[in-house]
Chain A
Amino acid sequence: MPKRFARKMRKTLFDKVWGAHVVKIIEGGTAVLYIDKHYIHEVTSPQAFAESEKRGLPILRPQQIVATADHNVPTQNQHLPIADPLSRKQVEALSENCQKHGITLYGLGHKYQGIVHVIGPELGLTLPGMTIVCGDSHTSTHGAFGAIAFGIGTSQVAMVMASQCLLQIKPKQMRIYVDGFLKKGVTPKDVILYIISKLGTDRGTGYFVEYAGPVFEQMSMEGRMTVCNMSIELGARGGIIAPDEITFRYVEGKNFAPKDADFEKAVTYWCGLKTDQDAHFDAEHRFDAVDIAPMITYGTNPGMGIKISEKIPTGESNDQGLLNKSLNYMGLKAGESLIGKPINHVFIGSCTNSRIEDLRLVAEVVKGRKKANQVRAMIVPGSQQVAQQAQKEGLDEILKIAGFELRQAGCSACIGMNEDKIPAGEYCVSTSNRNFEGRQGPGARTFLASPLVAAITAIEGKIVDIDKYLEETTILN
């Protein structure tokens, strides 16, 4: 083959997975994209079931759909009927719909129930090389496995139900490369908050992002999930990381993952899912791990983040209006430092940071310590399985002794659709992914941060300079 053509054929990881799922190309270059796995939950599926029924369309591949109840569920007394009648009705509608159509449901009370983006990976339902969708923007999480995973609207949920396909224009591709080694106290959450603070919340719009470089290569699967999870906060539809030994080791032995010879065959296939050298990206960004420190947000979008020791920026003249509006909502001033800010609420949970490694980190920090008196510290495991594992390791006792409320699995105060809300005007250091106005309850003020920052905040009752704190205490030593 002539050389100039050879270069053109170089493919990205995304190209390879995408290419393997295109049924055909139609008018204007739009692809009919085949979907391997479809996750559904109670909030964005009822209207899709209704639409299918209205049009008399059967569910094409019910065995490729997995459902769970997470957004609306209480995180206490889950054995009792849901108190809020609207929430109850929605959760019941999901059960009815799943039963009617032969869809597997890990509903309330099931040992696999949990946040959809936590259970998919931990059950081995999410696998490298797949296409995965869900009526939820944080479906990007599953990209950590080298899958193309993205959030869709309810109309599209109905499309996948009826045809197992979607019409998609191939997105542009961006690579974000982070070199070096992370410093002590710097977690995957800080990496992604740092990237978003540098690039902004709309830089990724129209793109799929591949995260590459030593920092991601060394990261655990759970860390990679945290990073890919917040791709949407960068504006991107999804993030993707090449599967490697760490991925295969994580997947091996999971309930629904391929077994024995099938697993070996799968690994051979997965090994080919890598971006070729010199493959083309429409945009590339490079960062260095030495520049990344423990992060926190100060505003009302996830891009408004700073290193915890920095001061709130005073802003450039063209975005003064937005900054003022945000700071006004947050009750903060430009140029102010957040160090020493008293905090009454800490929320550790959500599909970003509610996995066992997050709970282990928090337990390590709070072991033998107590939360500050005025703080309410909620910790909500991402799934029943995470909760069980925590119990097995004795983390539940450590957390309880430290004064943390260990609740049951669900989305909880990440979105405040159940009772878990932050009161108006109060501050919450949260490990979730969105700090929008009212996200954690009307008037609630959210600081996004890592589980480490959240745990230390709970103990101190205020925001502290993490680097200094780690030097002065024995935490993480």
Chain B
Amino acid sequence: MKRFTTLNSRSIPLPIENIDTDQIIPARFLKATIREGFGENLFRDWRFENDDHPKKDFVLNDPTYSGQILVAGRNFGCGSSREHAAWAILDYGFQAVVSSFFADIFKGNALNNGLLPVEISEYLLQKLFQTIKQDPRVLIQIDLEKQIIAIEGYQEKFDIHPYKKTCLINGYDDLDFLINLKDEIGRFEKDTSSFKPFTY
């Protein structure tokens, strides 16, 4: 997994609430057997017409905005558990998603892939939308170590689980951790087999 420490970047605003993973990456693009290449179809049906022409009014097609931070409305990533949503966002070039609320599974998937979900207050989120609209070149700073997000002198602390934070900063994941527990897991299986009256 890629390491994440700090980020100082412009951003792309998507002030829509309840963006579900079917919008992030529609199901018909989930047929690949590798992780790469999903960025091409990120927000496919919002981004392109049926004839594959870019929709002019969609923000990813608007050259005014660019950056590695996606700023989106509350309850981002709800719906299907497809990790392809996190892969698509990363593959497109984003490193962080900022919202006032994330759906559970998406948040976990993002963290497992080195995409940082930054959960901020609704107040700051609205402020970000306004500020970015007024000046699309404005920079947002994210400092994972200090758990701070800042824009134009205003800053807010964000929460992240301490274990997940360590993982991101060091670029390792749960899998690395779990495979070292083999003996303990084996022991657990032995100990519990007696109280479970059947074999699972």
Q: Give the interface of A toward B (CB within 8 A).
A: 20, 23-24, 26-28, 30, 32, 34, 36-37, 43-44, 46-47, 50-51, 55, 57, 60, 64, 71-72, 84, 86-87, 89-90, 93, 127, 129-130, 135-137, 151-156, 158-159, 162-167, 169, 201-202, 205-206, 232, 235, 237, 258, 262-263, 265-266, 268-269, 301, 319, 322, 325, 415-417, 424, 434, 436-439, 442-443
Contact with B173, one of A155, A165, A442 (Cβ below 8 angstroms): A155
Contact assessment for A44 and B83 in the assembled complex, using a CB-CB cutoff below 8 Å = yes
Query: Within the complex, what minimum Cβ distance (angstroms) separates A318 from chain B?
Result: 10
Assembly CA distance A155 to B81 (angstroms): 11
Contact with B105, one of A30, A32, A237, A436 (Cβ below 8 angstroms): A237
A47-B33, A201-B78 are known contacts. Are A322 and B112 too (CB-CB below 8 A)? no
Question: Which of B82, B104, B105, B185 gathers the greatest number of chain A CB atoms within 10 Å?
Answer: B104
Contact assessment for B30 and A43 in the assembled complex, using a CB-CB cutoff below 8 Å = yes
Q: Which residues of A contact B185 (CB under 8 A)?
A: 23, 32, 34, 60, 163-165
Contact assessment for A167 and B81 in the assembled complex, using a CB-CB cutoff below 8 Å = no
Contact assessment for B197 and A153 in the assembled complex, using a CB-CB cutoff below 8 Å = no
Q: Is B94 an interface residue (CB 8 A)?
A: no
A32-B178, A89-B33, A167-B163 are known contacts. Are A442 and B83 too (CB-CB below 8 A)? no
Q: Which residues of B contact A57 (CB under 8 A)?
A: 175, 179
Contact assessment for B31 and A24 in the assembled complex, using a CB-CB cutoff below 8 Å = no
A-B contact pairs, 15 of them (CB 8 A): A20-B195, A34-B189, A37-B200, A44-B81, A44-B82, A47-B35, A50-B35, A155-B112, A163-B178, A166-B174, A202-B75, A268-B197, A301-B20, A322-B16, A424-B50
Q: Give the interface of B toward A (CB within 8 A).
A: 16-18, 20, 22-23, 26-28, 30-35, 45, 50, 74-75, 78-84, 86, 101, 103-105, 108-109, 112-113, 161-163, 166, 173-175, 177-179, 181-182, 184-185, 188-189, 192, 195-198, 200
Residue of B nearest to A411 (CB): B27
Q: Which residues of B contact A60 (CB under 8 A)?
A: 182, 185
Contact assessment for B81 and A262 in the assembled complex, using a CB-CB cutoff below 8 Å = no
Contact with B112, one of A156, A206, A263, A319 (Cβ below 8 angstroms): A156
The A-B contact count (CB < 8 A) is 198
A235-B103, A438-B26 are known contacts. Are A64 and B163 too (CB-CB below 8 A)? no
Contact assessment for B101 and A205 in the assembled complex, using a CB-CB cutoff below 8 Å = yes
Residue of A nearest to B175 (CB): A159
Question: Which of B86, B175, B179, B192 gathers the greatest number of chain A CB atoms within 10 Å?
Answer: B175
Contact assessment for A262 and B197 in the assembled complex, using a CB-CB cutoff below 8 Å = yes
Contact assessment for B33 and A159 in the assembled complex, using a CB-CB cutoff below 8 Å = no
Contact assessment for B104 and A50 in the assembled complex, using a CB-CB cutoff below 8 Å = no
Q: Which residues of B contact A129 (CB under 8 A)?
A: 196
Q: Apart from A23-B181, A44-B82, A155-B174, what 18 extra A-B contacts exist at CB < 8 Å?
A: A20-B196, A27-B163, A50-B34, A50-B35, A136-B80, A137-B81, A153-B81, A153-B108, A154-B84, A155-B109, A159-B174, A167-B174, A205-B101, A416-B28, A417-B31, A436-B22, A436-B79, A438-B23
